[in-house]
Amino acid sequence: MKQSKRIALGGLLSALSLVFLFMTGLFPFATLALPALAGALFAALLIECGTTAAVCAYLAVSLLGIVLTPDQTAAILFLAFFGYYPILKSLLEQKAKKAEWPLKLLTAAAAMTACYLVFRFLFPDPELIALPTWLLPIGLIGGLAIFILYDIALSRLIGWYLFVFRPKLTK
């Protein structure tokens, strides 16, 4: 792919990711789903343009998301996990076959813990503060179960892109 097409694709997918983050202001019930969709776009960018382009786009969208989007929760979720996970997923699936799932689960648990701490201390929410501490491990286990479903769905979406959508684009 020519350099100009790579730059254009990176800009287009970055702008679309930012639009998804902005949409959380319109659809507050999609605070988790829209950052996940925004991050999934980086899988296509990774396939078409490589790791460097995907990481640069992630950094740009993360910075712009934190500065510009009305819903800081979605921007932080994108920054803390959903933005870089498709890139990390690709690297883990290529390089760490035997330790793939333990590393994925460890990454997800660390991201959930970091998000909890950020939302607990930097953006305190009375409902979050009032939760009993014994619920935290249950929430982490539930979050990891949802993460496994997210990982499987992301794999299927990447497969669909590779085998259905991408051949139609290259014709």
Reported confidence tier of residue 68, pLDDT bands at 50, 70, 90:
very high
Predicted pLDDT at 140: 94
Helix runs in the chain, H state only? 3-23, 33-49, 51-68, 72-77, 85-95, 100-117, 126-129, 135-160, 166-170
**Percent of the chain clearing pLDDT 90 (strictly above):** 73
Provide Rg for the chain, Cα atoms: 17
Domain count, the chain: 1
| pTM > 0.95 | no
Predicted pLDDT at 53: 94
CATH of the domain at 152: 1.10.1760
Residue 164 has pLDDT above 90, yes or no: yes
Residue 1 has pLDDT above 80, yes or no: no
The domain of 164 spans 3-170
How far apart CA 151 and CA 85 sit, in angstroms, is: 9
- For residue 60, the Cα-to-chain-centroid distance in whole angstroms is 14
Phi, psi values for residue 83, rounded to 5°: -75, -45
Residue range 146-163, pLDDT digits in tens: 999 999 999 999 999 999
Residue range 25-50, pLDDT digits in tens: 889 889 999 999 999 999 999 999 99
How far apart CA 108 and CA 104 sit, in angstroms, is: 6
Residue range 85-136, pLDDT digits in tens: 999 999 999 998 889 999 999 999 999 999 988 888 887 877 777 778 888 8
